[in-house]
Amino acid sequence: MSEWLTRRLGLRLRVFLFFALLAGGGIAVLAAGLWLGYRRVPEAGVEAGFVLAGVVAGFGLLGLVAWIWYLFDENVARAIERLAGGLRVRAHADPGRALDQAQARYLGDLAPAAQAVTGTLSETRNALAEAVERETTRLAVENARLQALLADVPAGVLLCGADHQIVFYNGPAQEILAGEISAGLNRSLLDYLRAGPLRSAHARLLASEDGDAASDILCATVQSGEVLAGRMRLVRQGGEAPGYVLTLRDVTGDLALHAGREALLEEIIEKVRRPAANLQTVVDSGAAAGEGAAALLGEVRALTHAITDLAARYDAARGEWWPMEEIRAGELADSVVALAARDGITLTAEAAPLLLRCDAIQIVALLAHLTERLVTVIGARALSLFVAEDGDDGALITIGWFGDVLQVGLLDGWLSLPLEVGLSNVTGRSVLATHATEAWPEAGAASRALLRLPLRRAASGGNGAGGGRRSAVYDFDLMDRMPGGRLAETPLRDLTCVVFDTETTGLLPSSGDEIVQIAALRLRGGRRIPGEAFETLVNPGRPIPAAATEVHHITGAMVADAPAIAEAGRRFHAFAQGAVLVAHNAPFDLEFLRRHEAEIGARFDHPVLDTVLLSAVIFGESETHTLDALTERLGIVIPPEARHTAMGDAIATAAALERMIPMLEGRGLRSFGEVIAAVRRHSRLLRDANTPETLVPE
């Protein structure tokens, strides 16, 4: 019946009936009070009757007003607030579902009209998105190609603003700068490299009148002291202070190799010079035949021993001096198969997903040479090539065939022949010496003969299938950012944020509960920065209760070898340096961290945004503000297996922040200070986690 009345009665008629009910109820209450007072007159007199009538009418009117207020608040005020929140969500995000019209069923045609508007908006947004997607496909393809190209440039490439803030970096740059502080956008390059050479080179280029000038520099990393060779070139943009492009190459290993080679050569000269001088002295002295012969024999033995020892050390070190490259084992095997096919030889190949460190041209030429000799000289049949792991840092190349086992003398003869690699005097033996390895034949199973050749794996080649390549990361808007400025005046879209979450042994840090996992993501301009993430288990130094494990699935065995909070907290603090911390119920997570600031050696006095309070600003305090409720309102899906994991909840919180930033801007809250001022009006719901040092207006 009520639903039928709701559909049949117009909004104006409902408002009229609402006030008519209020008037009628007031008259009825007043009449009831007068009637009770009139009944009281014969017993207590007229005065007492009027007092009773007034009291009954007053309380009756008060109850009537409270009841009417409750109905109005529940069916009008809250309904409008929920409807406004739903409209705001759909204005700035697409949750993928229609408005809940039942929540505004007493507001007449307002809910259907709002649904029609949001439906039209969604259709328009989809049409616009399709048009934009069609127009930007080519640009996206070109961008992907550029990123792939820059990611594979062997040198580290960085683009920095005039204040040395990182705007762009590629994969090799990330590896060069890797340390306790991982490379990240909007971080100062001076946090990674010593400032003197960078500032001097930048100043020289600024003073130069040549717009295409470049400056070679030699600098060192702040933490590990590795030596880097680089080149800096300015990037001028209008009248603004120019930033620069910096290419870097780690020459620490090169310098060490050159120093080692020089030391070995000096030792060779010294060890050969003394015995040679002694031999000359013996010959010139004309000593007695017996004594002279004995002395001469001793010096010859010493010289022979020194030369043998130095030659062995030289051969072992040659592999470090020769320029090597990293190549996937599968690609090397495919190249050998292709060269063998050119000679009319059928060769099957199988390679483990390894990353090898070698001179690929020489090794491919050697393997093709040996394959050709096996077929033409000894008549090998059904040749196959396998590349497999050999220990922790090695790989073993095996050529197998049906036929006679290869004789060592014959193999030595083949290794003495020149190879077709474009260099003169390159033989199989010299290739093996360059790689500090050997090749040998042996008998295999099932009438198979084998030829073995071990090689080294690349240091990063634990999984050659992935290649270790990391895409280039950039935000060119940082080049236009004005340096300095107060945090309170910084627009939300200019903030660098670190969204984080923790998992703990319980809910009471004051009672000894501790962190067992920390995860975080970096955002810039309201968007996640690809590849900039932090995640670590933490040894809490106490047992993890079964009830806690049931929630986050972290056991004591999983954290047994994990770092303690002092190390994990220090690494997280370095990751979050210079950023605004964002969390869902931030006071809870920060209390665990701030209790250990003395052990960590750093203070967590970062500016803070709390998505619980941001939700209250947007949707009102009366709504539920749990992470599940917030993500459901925003149309964010959290996989069940990711819920109550630090990284899963951090990803969900980051997605919620991305969608709430335009909603806050839609309410006129565009700067950090304006948002904090709005947040502090909801302190009854949750206290603001910003410390007094966070200078924002009250």
What would the DSSP string read from start to end of 430-474? Answer: HHHHHTT---EEEE-STTEEEEEEEEEBPTTGGGTTTTT----EE
Amino acid at 262: E
Distance in angstroms (rounded) separating the CA atoms of residues 167 and 189: 10
Distance in angstroms (rounded) separating the CA atoms of residues 416 and 409: 11
Distance in angstroms (rounded) separating the CA atoms of residues 575 and 189: 14
Start-to-end CA distance of the chain, whole Å, equals 51
Compute the half-sphere exposure of residue 219: CA atoms within 13 Å on the CB side of its CA.
Answer: 27
Element (H, E) at 233: strand 227-235
The residues, any chain, with a CB within 8 Å of residue 325's CB and separated by 6 or more, are 357, 358, 359, 360
Amino acid at 210: D
- The one catalytic residue in 553, 625, 644, 682 is 644
Residue 15 has pLDDT above 70, yes or no: no
Contact 581, 500 (CB under 8 A): yes
DSSP H helices, 208-288, are 252-285
The predicted model gives 672-689 an average pLDDT of 87
SS3 537: strand
pTM value? 0.61
Distance in angstroms (rounded) separating the CA atoms of residues 669 and 501: 25
Q: Phi and psi at residue 460, in whole multiples of 5°?
A: -95, 15
Contact 364, 435 (CB under 8 A): no
- Which one of 145-159, 261-275, 367-381, 448-462 scores highest in mean pLDDT? 367-381
The CA–CA distances, whole Å, from 610 to 103, 186, 537, 588 equal 27, 22, 23, 11
Contact 625, 612 (CB under 8 A): yes
pLDDT of 461:
39
Compute the half-sphere exposure of residue 37: CA atoms within 13 Å on the CB side of its CA.
Answer: 19
Distance in angstroms (rounded) separating the CA atoms of residues 605 and 580: 10
Contact 187, 578 (CB under 8 A): yes
* pLDDT tens-place string over residues 552-600: 999 999 999 999 999 999 999 999 988 999 999 999 999 999 999 999 9
pLDDT of 21:
72
Burial of 18 (0-12, 13-18, 19+ CB in 10 A): middle
Confidence of residue 338 (pLDDT cuts 50, 70, 90): confident
Q: Which residues of 680-694 are buried (b: 16+ CB within 10 A; e: fewer)?
A: eebeeebebbbeeeb
SS3 596: coil
Helices H, strands E: what count in the chain? Answer: 22, 18
Name the packing angle between helices 329-342 and 360-378 (round to 10°).
40
Nearest-5° Cα angle at 388, 387 to 389? 140
Contact 603, 610 (CB under 8 A): no
The predicted model gives 74-93 an average pLDDT of 70
The predicted model gives 377-404 an average pLDDT of 90
* pLDDT tens-place string over residues 477-524: 665 565 555 888 889 988 999 999 999 999 999 899 999 999 999 998
* pLDDT tens-place string over residues 101-134: 666 666 656 666 666 666 666 667 667 767 777 7
More confident residue, 223 or 636: 636
Contact 33, 57 (CB under 8 A): yes
pLDDT of 598:
94
Lowest-confidence segment of 102-106, 302-306, 448-452, 461-465 by average pLDDT: 461-465
pLDDT of 465:
38
Query: Is the backbone of residue 426 left (phi > 0), alpha (psi -120 to 50) or beta?
Result: beta
Element (H, E) at 633: helix 627-633
DSSP for 339-403 reads HHHHTT--EEEEE-S-EEEE-HHHHHHHHHHHHHHHHHHH--EEEEEEEEEETTTEEEEEEEEES
In terms of DSSP bridges, do strands 527-537 and 580-583 run parallel, antiparallel, or are they unpaired?
unpaired
- Tokens, residue 184: 């990240």
What letter would DSSP give residue 510? G
Contact 30, 58 (CB under 8 A): no
Question: What length is written for the chain?
Answer: 698
Distance in angstroms (rounded) separating the CA atoms of residues 682 and 675: 11
The residues, any chain, with a CB within 8 Å of residue 212's CB and separated by 6 or more, are 233
Residue 209 has pLDDT above 70, yes or no: yes
Q: In the annotation, is 573 catalytic?
A: no
Q: What percent of the chain has pLDDT over 90?
A: 26
The predicted model gives 608-615 an average pLDDT of 94
Burial of 97 (0-12, 13-18, 19+ CB in 10 A): exposed
Amino acid at 401: W
Amino acid at 622: S
Residue 399 has pLDDT above 80, yes or no: yes
